[in-house]
Each structure stands twice: as structure tokens, then as C-alpha cells.
Structure 1
Amino acid sequence: MKTAVIGYPRIGALRELKFATEQYFKGDLTEVELQKSAAQLRKRHWDKQLNKGIDFISSNDFSLYDNVLDTAVLLNAIPKKYQQLKLTPIDQYFAMARGYQGEQGDVKALAMKKWFNTNYHYIVPEIEDETRLSLVGNKPFEEFEEAKNNGVITKPVIIGAFTFLKLAKYTGQKQANDFIEDIVTAYVNIIETFEKLGAEWIQFDEPSLVMDLTKEDQTLFKQLYTEILERKGSIKVLLQTYFGDIRDIYQTAIDLPFDGLGLDFVEGRKNLTLINEFGFPNDKILFAGVINGKNIWRNRYDQTVLLINQLKVKSPSIVLNTSCSLLHVPYTLDNEHKLADTEKQHLAFAEEKLTELIELSDILKEENYQDNLEFKTRKFIFDNRDHFENLVVQDRVKSLTEQDFQRQPAFSERERLQREKFNLPSLPTTTIGSFPQTLDVKENRARFKKGEISLEHYTAFNKQKIAECIALQEDIGLDILVHGEFERNDMVEYFGEHLEGFIFTQNAWVQSYGTRCVKPPIIWGDVSRTSPITVEYSVYAQSLTNKPVKGMLTGPITILNWSFPREDISLKDCVLQIALAIREEVLDLEKEGIRHIQVDEAALREKLPLRKSDWYSEYLDWAIPAFRLVHSGVRPETQIHTHMCYSEFSDIIEDIDQMDADVITFEASRSDLSIVDVLRENQFKTQVGPGVYDIHSPRIPSVPEIKAVITHILEKMPLEKVWVNPDCGLKTRGNKEVAESLRNMVEAVNEVKRELFQ
């Protein structure tokens, strides 16, 4: 039984791509040197898969920033504002991803959104009425030939035509159907070019097929691929789906002349049922996604073998595949020197998942596979797994009642009480929480972790940074201050390190967007809090100023969604355990006099099921109450804030209002403030701070630019409901640009208020 991998992590085992790209941004690396580093990584990744024995190895799964952006450039979907910059191709590409501010002009970056139900962010293509979609790029073909020259005939991967059109933003009158002819021609040209280069297979990724599809969507998909496949020649075409099942389009997919169909059997709950009900064509190969591409636990060989044997009844030709790209898991366990062997034996990162594919293939060849050594060893390990068990926590979850999830009094009464108590100015200004993590901050934390400095030295340094941060914010004129989070490596990892039930890695980095990588903790057992986490620094920061300082916490849903979760208990039980721990922290902050407490839920939307029919039964019915559990015990005068970023919120905005926070800040600038219309249409009760400038770009917004954003918000929302803040935390930015941007933000607010109240 052959093996395949949908895609491989591109950042490298030790984040080599991140560091090379950031050096290029700083001017410390030439384009030639950057491309050389990229080529070395690609070769290493191909060789790794080839040496393991993988049969179908992908190319064009690599990107300097984002594969969707790569596809937009490949297809000539480059908005005029970037073409007019007169930059080199690579700098034009990065301008689309990060924005540009320099001699050639001043342009914002394209919007950024979450990639389906993952923590990866993709760049949203913009298609203008004048756009002529056509094949203009060479990247996929150059990388195919590069692999070929290295002795590997790869399976090139391209974002599919349907998914590309569905993800794109249309800025004029034209919509997806107006670009069918152009995109069909472009994809036919892609196929023809690969055929000439000697490719045997080409993979079209179509994750949009696992969403709820309208009749128009189904018609669009069928029309696109009917026309594309009519001219595909002798090359074999794989339709690859992931992140769910394709119940709305399965029959159409098996009727079209694809040579292979990739289905996810990890998250695709109904894919097996679809095959059993409608069969699977004998002239197609089933690429069965049985190795989890999103979580890090070892595969249950007994369950997977049972599944494959069921599939073999309906499909005579099966390739063992990953459930999605391995982009979403860390690179290798080889660099984890602090994890115990008893822990590592339960884990599989990208490289280990290659081994799992090969071992599964070997096991399935054997008639008496139960006697296979790997099979027996794996089953023994799973059956004897031990983890942190806390019966007290389990009992607390079981004893929760409806009252534990309801805050009193109602929002309107709390809003009145808080206005009287705080007497904040109109359009109060604040930030989302973090300030720049400069080299000295990172060095202080690293030296403490290595045991090179004492806790006293480490704490004193952080307090000095907090004092500087408070002084800067007072000088800028912000209304609600933050302590800057200099003690925190990551908003989830930091809390995991201070809670029982987590284990941590050294180098298990996963790409979040561009050069931003995160190191998710692993939820190993029952979660609990043994002592205060943030209280000392928050109280210290408040002692330095007469202005209010927000306590900054990460919410239970985000901690769950940005960790690798357990698979032996339900997500609901897991998040309630975390919520009880964060609730204790909230109450301790309040007891120490912190009256503004922000509980960030940046990842609320992330694990929302991709099909609306599953939203409540599988997620929102416990996710929203979990947030309410965190703050339901505070006094009416304590103001609860939360923050959300880089997702579509319009269809769950009523549920977000039911979180019953007092203030919610949203990412908004990259999505052209579309959230503001949604808030108005739904008569959103919570006070809101739509982000007025993009912090993921190095450009500094001007006062008139921010003023125009605030004015636009006030045209659609009542003054008394609006806060002013950046899009997100400032940890990835530099001190100079942060100070200038915030000064411009405060000045813009002052100008707006002078005009309003003159």
C-alpha cells in the first residue's frame, strides 16, 4: 500500500525560514541568499520524505510567506495598488503580505484570515474588475524541476480553482462566476506545463468543499472541473480535500474524471458513510487521510487498520495519506531533549508521522497484522498511558450549575454602574495588551530559563520594563494602560507553564502566519491552577500610575484551541477545567484592586465547526458558557474585556454578544472595518473597540488615516459604545514604530473629539 503526504512544514526544524526571511526584511540578507536558504530547506524536506520511503512527495507546498498568496501571484491577481509600487517581484509579494511604506508609496497589506479551522492565517486575494486571471508565474514549475534535479519526481500541489475563487475578495462589481473562463484557462495551462515537465500527478487542494455548499457552489465546482479535466491530457489529477467531509459534493466528485480523490478520515466524520452509501469508483485511487495532520498524538494503529480494512471493501486501490498538510504540526521530536521518553512515546510530529505512514503500510501487508511488533508495541503504549489526573477538578466540572455561567446584574445595569465609577472620557483609548518583545526582554527570559540569573534578577528586570511601559503610555496619553507582558513568551504557553496538566517542548514550532511561529503546549492531563499567575505584575503596574491598568489573561477557549488537546476526554470537559483555573485568577486580580480585566479569546472562531449544522451541538453550546464561567463571579463594577482577531465574526455575532463581556476589541483594519456594519445590524449591546490600525505590518499609520477610520466607525456606531485601540498585541513590533503609531492614534482621537464637541 503506497503512502502520500499532502504537504510538509516549511519553516525548518529550527525555524530557519523565519530567521532568513526576517534577515531579508532587515536588509541583512540579499534575495539570492534568501532563495538559497529556501532551496536548502526544500531539498532537506524532500530528502527526508524520500529516505523514509514516502511514495507521493509534494512540491510547491513550500512558501516564503503563504501558499494562497503564492497562488494569487501565480494567477496575476495582483491589485493595482501593488503594481504601481514599481518594486521587484519579491518585494511586491512581501508588500501584499505586510504592507509597504517607503520611497515608492504607502500601501496597506492585504487582509489576513484564519485558514478554515486552524491557527494558520492566509492572505486573502483581492480580485478587481480589471483583473485578468492568467498563468503568469513560474514558482510551481521551478520547484518541480528543482526537486527533479535532486532525484525526486514530486506531486505538485496547487490551491484549487474553486477554493481560490471562494476565498477571494471581490472589490468591484464582478463576482466568482465572472472569472470562470479565465481561471479554467489558467488551470489548463498549469496542467499542460506540468505534463511537459514530466509530472505524473498534480494535486489540486479543495478544502472549501468541506464547507456547507449552496446549489450555486456545487454548480460552480462542477463547471470548473468539467472544463479543466476535459483538457487534462495524460497527467493524473488528484482532488484533495481536508478538514471535514464532502457530503454536499461527493457524488459529483466521484463522477468527474479525477484520477484520485483525497478524503479526510480524521475530521471528515461522514466520509466513510458516503463511501459505504454511494460506493467508490474502481478507476480512481482513494488517498485516505488517516494520519492526523493537526494533532501530535501517535496514531492508534488498531483503529486505523480497522478503518482501512473497511475502506478496502469499497475501494480496491488505496494510498495511505495524511489528513491534511503537516504544516499544522511541529517538525520533529529529535530536537526535544527535555521531554521524557515516557512522554515522547505518545507523540508524533511531522517527521514521526512519515514513519507512521510507512509502518502502517507494512502492517497492512501482513495477513496476521496483530502479531506485528510495531502494532503490539503501539497498542501496549496506548493502553497503558498515564497522565495527570485530578479528581478534585473532575468533580468541580461535574458539579457546575446554570448559575455558575450567569453574571449578575444584567449588562445594561453593569454598564451604568461602570460609567459612574470609572468616568472614562469619550472614545477611551487602550491597547490590546503586549508591548514589543525586544532582544533584551527575550535574553532576560532565556537566561532565567537556563538558570543563569536568579528569580530576583529576572523579576527586577521585568519590573523595570513595566515601569518604562507605564511611563510611555502615560506620556502618549492612553486612558487604560497595560503592563506590557514582558514576562510572557506566548499568550498561551505562558499560562500553560503556570497551570498543572500541561507539558512543554523546546522546538515544537508551528507557523501561524508569515514569519510568526508559535509553540503550542500539550494538554497532558487534568488542568488546574495552584497559585496566582499574573497578580504580582499587574498589581505592581497599577501601583505606578493613577490611571487604570488592565489585568491581562488568556481565555480558556483560546488556551484550548492554541494547545494540542487531549483525545481521551471531550473538548468540553477540557475547556471547563481551564475555565475554572482562569476564573480563580480573575477573582484574585479583582481582590487585589484590578478593576479592568481582559480575558482574550483570540481563537474563539478557530474551532467552530465548518458546517453550521454542527455549530451548537459540537462547539458554541459549551464554548460561550466556558467564557461566562470565567467572569460570572466578579462584582458589577469590575469591567471585563475580551479580544478577538483575524476571523469572520458576522455569522456568530449574536453568540459573541452572549459572552456577556463589558468591552470587546476586534481585529478590523485589514478587513476594511466590515465588522462595524455587522455590529450595527445586530444591535450589539457590548461596548466595542474595532482595531483602527494593523499591527502585523511595519508601516506607521498617519493621524489623518486613523482619524478617517474613527470617523467611519462613529458614522455607524453610537459614541458611547466605541473604544479606540490597535488591531492586536504589539509584541512583534519595534519600540519606535509602536510609540509613533500610538501617538498618532491618540492625536487622531483628540482631533475627532475636538470636532465633535467644539
Structure 2
Amino acid sequence: MQTHNLGYPRIGSQRELKKAAEQYWAGKISLTQLNQAGSAIRLHNWSLQKKAGIDLVPCNDFSYYDHVLDTSLMTGAIPARYHDLMQDKQLPHPDLLFAMARGYQKDGYDITAMEMTKWFDTNYHYIVPEFTANQQFSLFNTKVLNEFVEAKQNGIPAKPVLLGPVSYLLLGKEKEPGFHRLELIKKLLPVYIEVLTKLEQAGAYYIQLDEPCLSLNLTDAERKVFTKTYEEIKNKLPDLKIILASYFECYGENLFTVLKLPVQVLHLDLVRCSGQLDDILATDFVHSRTILSLGVVDGRNIWKNNFETSLAYIKKAADKIGKARIWIAPSCSLLHVPCDLDLETDEKVLTPEIKQWLAFAKQKIDEVVTLKQLANDENSEVANTKLKENITASQNRKTSSLIHNAAVKARVKAITDADAARQNAFSIRKEKQHSALNLPLFPTTTIGSFPQTAEVRTWRAKWKKGELTQVQYDELIAKETEKAIRWQEAIDIDVLVHGEFERNDMVEYFGEQLKGFVFSKNGWVQSYGSRCVKPPIIFGDVSRPESITIRWTAYAQSLTKKSVKGMLTGPVTILQWSFVRNDQPRSETCTQIALAIRDEVADLEKAGINVIQIDEPAIREGLPLRKENWQAYLNWAVKAFRISASGVKDETQIHTHMCYSEFNDIIQNIADMDADVITIECSRSQMELLDAFAAFKYPNEIGPGVYDIHSPRVPSQKEMTQLMEKAKAVIPMEQLWVNPDCGLKTRGWNETKAALLEMVNAAKALRQQVTVNA
């Protein structure tokens, strides 16, 4: 029995990668210094895992931006729009990687970024591969080989990790009609075999191929591609030992295909799907030689492992196939959890009672090793002590008075259907809202946040340290808010926002003011590129002691005659972007949050706010991976949104926002949310996402994002106008709003001002065109 890990957080325990990348983009450090920062993170991660006792340590789980984008670079799948830049500028690979992820707007070039979307049902984003019918692949980048050699030279028992070839294709998009991307496997596979050959020649004994798409509902044709692909790899490399890893769900109907693949190790996510162990042990698999990797430590959440439960799974498998065929691992890569609980030393932030229930990446590595020691009956005094501590912590959590609130549970039970319905249908509300708001055709707005400059962040830091009094801090926020309002008025945006200068993160800010939440100081995880978030920890029943957003929203509204949007984060997104308690159904926790947001919506309306946005970018992200589980989730998720939004009068306009999602398969459910206005990301996809709304004849109003805020480039008025013309061709213009595709918190003021001015001018040009054509 041995241990391995599928992947480790790449950002560094102090977010070293984020800081180095952003300094490099700003021209403050050299490429050599960036590479030194990356090397230091890798060596720290490898050494930590080796020292803890992990038998096979992953390498190539590090990335400067995204591992899917790394795979595109490795295989030479670089979109044509970057080819001139590659030839003329001779960009080093990190620069090309960043250009593909962020766009490139300098030296006379203006190249859009590649599309970005969510990695399955996580809050991690990946850069979507782009494929054409005549797509060519070649080994363009040898990062995986270089990092394996680097690990080996440092004495690390390294195991290279690669995104598998079939999942890589399935996660991409065809950029022209007439072919299916899986048809490209014949061209792609030789590159993978070349890479695997080089790794084997360099001394790699085991290689992990991640095929997470095996957790999805696949067709027979797709399963055949998996079979042929892995038979070809076995044929070309008969001595190479492949670890096949899928996660986040069961193999489902793909299981019989998977069990026949010629791989040496098969990984199971027993956190998300414990039942598949019994399914496998009931087959002829027990007579094979394939090793089972049991993913018993949760790689997605921060709760301490229940050793008794995990040991029961391990014993069940060992009794059937023997300990020699058992490996122990986390359920998935630890990319999705913070680095180290030991860094949480402030007991005022994270109390000892709650801290005893938690485990971050470093602690999860220790859990894997301890489980091996206990399962092997090594009679280690340390391991036995950890088992006793683990049992005690689990019992304490079940009985803690911190967790349960009878009043909250009673309120959830008292919910009726009326609580989840507006007073009248949208067709009636629309007329009342148009009369009350008096907005022009193609009304303009932003998604909510404005740039959080270093100066603004410094104010917050000083206030938290006591270096600024509450009065001083409030005066600074008030001035910044007024500046934002005056500037929006000056460029003639129609529905204003207050800028959210008082807020840190869109989920963290609300969680800090709700009961049942707790926070870490260093619990950062990567969302995309250099963007890191610090998810709240929902440990108990949720309620809202007092209003959260009224003060600054009402203040902003007092400064202008135009409508200022109240900005709230929706219940599903707060749930999805938090580390959620695992001792009750997620639906129950989400409903508790919905009631808290409902109270905030009601208070905003009472304060005179007549436009309220309840952001739900995570609705699609939270969709279960397997379709047979969709409806149950959508029922409670949509109901939670409606509970949060339905306690207002018809004249109050409810907006929601969603980003980087495919909507075709849940468009009816989005309509069922019954928001008066929905804003979505459309710029990177060149308005492709609108097709679902058009085909469905979506009845409510919609704002398709006209520029990509995740890229520093400033689009022109012409570009935005052309995108809106595409929108106008499929959606009635009376339903259309004009807005960016997401919040502007991470952008700089210069690019923000330039882009929004172009956006407003685009809207005015569209109105003028309608007037001329009338």
C-alpha cells in the first residue's frame, strides 16, 4: 500500500505566484525573476510532500496561469491570430502563454484573449482550447519534461501529471463548423506519445493522465475514442505505467469502458461517489492486476477527514484485492483548497474550536500518510494519537452549540410557494418598471465593482489594523464613492453603481456579516491566472443579524437623481464559492442564505433603491456533472434565487449576473429564475452564448457583455457596436442592455475609463441608428 497526490496548490502559501506574475506583467521584475519564483514554489511543494511521506509526488501540476492552457502550448494548439505575434516578437513561452490568456494590446498588435470557462463544477477557470478542422499539433513546449527533470535532480520521487488527450479535446471548442473536435485525436495522439516517450526515457516510471471527462455522460462514440486512445498508448509504450485519474463524480455508465482500459492504476473519487467502490469490487476487476487509487481525502473542501470512514473504505478494498493493489490519495488535485492551516495563528479570526475541524492542503497530505500507516497496522504511536484526535474532533463537531440555530431551521420549514414568486408576471412588471425608471433604448450599466486600487486596499488594511479610525476610513470611502458617481454621470451611464470600494470579495464581504460563517487569513485559492480568492467557511446555520449594504448604497443614491443599483451576491453563488458544511444537505444551507439575502433586498427597497442586482454567476457552475442529477439541483437552486428576489413590489427591477457559462441546456431554468434583467458574458465567445437565449425566445431583458474585463486591452466603440449588432440580430432590441461582461474590480482606472467611454458611445450610436432608420 502506498500514497500519492494528484496535485498541489500552485500559488504558494503566501500567494508568491500571484505577486510575481503581476509584477512581471507590470514590468517590475524580469522573466528570470519570474522563473525563479516559480522554481521556488515547485521545490517547496515537492519537498513538503516528500518529507510528509508521499510515495509519488506530482510534478507539472504547477502552471504560471492554467494547466489546460499549458497543454495547448505543449501540443502547439495556438490560435492563428497569435502566429504573426509569435514570428515577429519571438515571445518566450511564458509571454505567449500570458498573451493567449489575457490578450495582447501593444507594439501595434490588438489580439483578443482566448475564451475562459469554469473547470467542471469548481470555481477554477480554464482557458478553452480552440480547434479548427485542419488543426495541426506538434510538440511546441517541453515544460512537463523540464519539470520532471528538475524534480528528479532535487531527489523528488516525481510522477508527471498531464491532462489526458481525450479530455483535452472534449474541453475545447470547434471554431468553425463541419467537424467534431474528437476527430482530431489521430493528429493529437502522436504528440502525446512523443511526450510520454521522452518522459519514459528521462526515467518516469508512473505517469498520471487526468481524464476528468470520464465523469460526464458520454456517448458510445466518445467511449470508443477513449478505448482506442489508451490501446494505442499501450501499444506504443508497453512498459509505461499509466495512472488514470478522473474525479468530481462517478464513472457511471463509463465504468465498464474504464475497467477495460490498459492502465496500471485507476483512481476513484470516493468523496464525491463512494458507491463506485462497491460497483468495481463486484466485477471481474478483482481478478486483474490493476491497482486501485482510493481518493478518500476531500480535495475540494477543508473539513478534516473522518479517519474511521476512510479506513472502512480502505479495508473493504483490501479485503477483496489485497493491500498490495491499494494506493491512498486525495479525491482530486489539492488545487482547490488553501495551502496550510498552520498559517492561521489568529484565534480571533479562526477560533481553536472551529480550527480543530479543518484541514488545508498540507494537512490533507498528512492525512493521506496517516491513513496509510493506520491501514498498514504499523502501530505508530503518532498515527494512533492522530486517530484519537480525529475521532474527538469529529464528535465535537456533531455536538457543538456553535453550529445549530433553532430559529433559522424553523424559518426554513415555514417557507411557502408564495415566498418564491413575484406579485405579477414579467409582462406586467416590465411596464411598471419602464414607467418608473424611464430608461432609454439600449440602457447602459456596469456589473457592479470599480477598480480596487492599491490605495483603496491600503485604506482597508490600515483600518483593520487600527491605523485608521472608523470615521477616517468612512470619509475616504465616501469620497471615492462620490468620485465614482460623478464620473458615471459625466460619461452618461444610465444605471449607476456605487463601486463597492468598501468590499473585499463579493462573497467574503457578505459572509463576514452573516452568522454561521468564519474566515481564514491565509486561506487563498486560485480562481484563474493571478486571481486568488479566500472562500468563507460555512460551519453553521446562516442568518443575517443586521443590514449589510444599505449604508453605502443609500449614500450613493443620495448623490444622484439617476438610479443606483443595489449590489448583492446571490445565495447559490455564496454557497458555491464557499467551503460548505458537509453535515447537512447543500440545499438546506442554500435556503438559509436565500432568506438572509431576501431580508437585505427588502431593506434596500425600503431605502429607496429601485434597481437591485443579485449576482448568480455560479448557478451553472453548481450543476451536477451527471445529467441524471440536474433536476434535483436546479429545483432547489432556482427556488433559492426566487426566495431571495421575490419580496419586492413590481416596480423594483431585479437584475442578476452570470459569467463564463454555457446556458443552452438550462435556459428554461434561467427563465424560471424570473429576473427582470440578466447580464451575461458574451465578449470572448463573440456573442455565441446568446444563441441559447434567442432559440428559446427568452422573454425578459438581457445585457450581453460587450467587452472582456479579464483582459487589459481596451476595445473600440466599433468593436462593441458590432457585437451589439450581432445581439440585435437575434434578440429584440427592446430587451437589450449594454454592459461589460463582469465586474471591474481587478482592472485599472485608465483602461476602465477608456473602455466604458467607448461602451457608452457604442450605445448612443445604436440609438442614433435606430432613430435614423425609424
CA drift of 1:422 comes to 1.4
Amino acid at match of 1:712: K
Amino acid at match of 2:462: R
Question: What SS does the corresponding residue of 1:665 show, helix, strand or coil?
Answer: strand
Tell me the TM-score normalized by structure 2. Answer: 0.96
Superposed CA deviations along residues 125-174 of structure 1, whole A, max 9, x for unmatched, are: 11123321122221000000000110113110010011011011121343
Amino acid at match of 2:27: G
Q: Distance in 2 between matches of 1:555 and 1:340?
A: 27
Q: Distance in 2 between matches of 1:647 and 1:55?
A: 38
CA drift of 1:105 comes to 1.0
Q: Distance in 1 between matches of 2:70 and 2:424?
A: 51
Pick one of 532, 535, 538 that aligns with 1:517.
532
Is 1:18 the counterpart of 2:24? The answer is no
Superposed CA deviations along residues 615-659 of structure 1, whole A, max 9, x for unmatched, are: 112x11101000000121100100000101112111111101100
CA drift of 1:91 comes to 1.7
Q: Distance in 2 between matches of 1:315 and 1:669?
A: 52
Amino acid at match of 1:462: I
Amino acid at match of 2:500: E
CA drift of 1:56 comes to 1.1
Residue in structure 1 matched with residue 206 of structure 2 by the alignment: 201
Is 1:654 the counterpart of 2:660? The answer is no
**Preserved CA contact (<8 Å) 1:148 1:154:** yes
Q: Distance in 1 between matches of 2:59 and 2:105?
A: 33
Pick one of 356, 370, 373 that aligns with 2:385.
373
Is 1:249 the counterpart of 2:254? The answer is yes
Question: What SS does the corresponding residue of 2:541 show, helix, strand or coil?
Answer: strand
**Preserved CA contact (<8 Å) 2:686 2:723:** no
CA drift of 1:369 comes to 10
Amino acid at match of 1:309: K
Superposed CA deviations along residues 412-437 of structure 1, whole A, max 9, x for unmatched, are: 11111111221210000000000000
Q: Distance in 2 between matches of 1:250 and 1:656?
A: 32
Q: Distance in 1 between matches of 2:109 and 2:624?
A: 41
Residue in structure 2 matched with residue 310 of structure 1 by the alignment: 316
Residue in structure 2 matched with residue 351 of structure 1 by the alignment: 362
Amino acid at match of 2:123: N
> Which range moved further: 463-472 or 125-134?
125-134
**Preserved CA contact (<8 Å) 1:286 1:315:** no
CA drift of 1:268 comes to 2.3
Superposed CA deviations along residues 81-120 of structure 1, whole A, max 9, x for unmatched, are: 1111133132221110000101141011000000001000
Amino acid at match of 2:162: I
Q: Distance in 1 between matches of 2:306 and 2:652?
A: 47
> Which range moved further: 358-367 or 6-15?
358-367
**Preserved CA contact (<8 Å) 2:170 2:182:** no
Question: What SS does the corresponding residue of 2:285 show, helix, strand or coil?
Answer: coil
CA drift of 1:751 comes to 1.2
**Preserved CA contact (<8 Å) 1:99 1:108:** yes
Residue in structure 1 matched with residue 29 of structure 2 by the alignment: 29
Q: Distance in 1 between matches of 2:378 and 2:553?
A: 63
Residue in structure 2 matched with residue 321 of structure 1 by the alignment: 329
Residue in structure 2 matched with residue 301 of structure 1 by the alignment: 307
Give ranges in structure 2 of 5+ residues lacking alignment.
none
Residue in structure 2 matched with residue 330 of structure 1 by the alignment: 338
Superposed CA deviations along residues 410-461 of structure 1, whole A, max 9, x for unmatched, are: 1111111111221210000000000000011101111111111111111111
1:100-499 mapped onto 2 (5 Å cutoff): 100-172=104-176, 173-281=178-286, 282-316=288-322, 317-338=325-346, 339-366=350-377, 372-385=384-397, 386=400, 387-499=402-514
**Preserved CA contact (<8 Å) 2:166 2:185:** no
Amino acid at match of 2:47: D
Amino acid at match of 1:232: L
> Which range moved further: 600-609 or 515-524?
600-609
Q: Distance in 2 between matches of 1:104 and 1:545?
A: 40
Residue in structure 2 matched with residue 47 of structure 1 by the alignment: 47
Amino acid at match of 2:453: T
Amino acid at match of 1:373: T
Residue in structure 2 matched with residue 729 of structure 1 by the alignment: 743
Q: Distance in 2 between matches of 1:116 and 1:202?
A: 23
Q: Identity across aligned pairs (percent)? A: 47
Question: What SS does the corresponding residue of 2:3 show, helix, strand or coil?
Answer: coil
Q: Distance in 2 between matches of 1:520 and 1:171?
A: 35
Amino acid at match of 1:84: D
Amino acid at match of 2:129: P
Amino acid at match of 2:289: D
Is 1:640 the counterpart of 2:654? The answer is yes
Question: What SS does the corresponding residue of 2:282 show, helix, strand or coil?
Answer: helix
Amino acid at match of 2:377: E
Amino acid at match of 2:97: Y
Q: Distance in 2 between matches of 1:129 and 1:10?
A: 34
> Which range moved further: 626-635 or 220-229?
220-229
**Preserved CA contact (<8 Å) 1:435 1:484:** yes
Amino acid at match of 1:122: Y
Question: What SS does the corresponding residue of 1:101 show, helix, strand or coil?
Answer: coil
CA drift of 1:570 comes to 1.1
Is 1:532 the counterpart of 2:547? The answer is yes
**Preserved CA contact (<8 Å) 2:64 2:94:** no
CA drift of 1:707 comes to 0.7
**Preserved CA contact (<8 Å) 1:702 1:744:** yes
Q: Distance in 1 between matches of 2:55 and 2:687?
A: 46
CA drift of 1:269 comes to 4.5
> Which range moved further: 414-423 or 739-748?
414-423
**Preserved CA contact (<8 Å) 1:369 1:375:** no
Count of residues paired in the alignment: 757
Amino acid at match of 1:26: A
Q: Distance in 1 between matches of 2:320 and 2:477?
A: 62
**Preserved CA contact (<8 Å) 1:133 1:179:** no
**Preserved CA contact (<8 Å) 1:63 1:70:** yes
CA drift of 1:277 comes to 2.9
Pick one of 678, 698, 703 that aligns with 1:684.
698
Give ranges in structure 1 of 5+ residues lacking alignment.
none
**Preserved CA contact (<8 Å) 1:287 1:318:** yes
1:557-572 mapped onto 2 (5 Å cutoff): 557-572=572-587
Amino acid at match of 2:459: N
Residue in structure 1 matched with residue 727 of structure 2 by the alignment: 713
Amino acid at match of 1:585: E
Superposed CA deviations along residues 293-337 of structure 1, whole A, max 9, x for unmatched, are: 000000000111111111223332110011010000000012111
Root-mean-square deviation (CA), in Å?
A: 1.4
Is 1:669 the counterpart of 2:683? The answer is yes
**Preserved CA contact (<8 Å) 1:76 1:131:** no
**Preserved CA contact (<8 Å) 1:405 1:625:** yes
> Which range moved further: 372-381 or 578-587?
372-381
Q: Distance in 2 between matches of 1:44 and 1:70?
A: 21
CA drift of 1:353 comes to 0.3
**Preserved CA contact (<8 Å) 1:192 1:233:** no
CA drift of 1:176 comes to 2.3
CA drift of 1:38 comes to 0.4
Residue in structure 1 matched with residue 566 of structure 2 by the alignment: 551
Tell me the TM-score normalized by structure 1. Answer: 0.98
Residue in structure 1 matched with residue 66 of structure 2 by the alignment: 66
- Closer/same/farther in 2, CA of residues 368 and 40 from structure 1, 3 Å limit: closer
Question: What SS does the corresponding residue of 2:494 show, helix, strand or coil?
Answer: coil
- Closer/same/farther in 2, CA of residues 407 and 466 from structure 1, 3 Å limit: same
Question: What SS does the corresponding residue of 1:228 show, helix, strand or coil?
Answer: helix
CA drift of 1:368 comes to 8.5
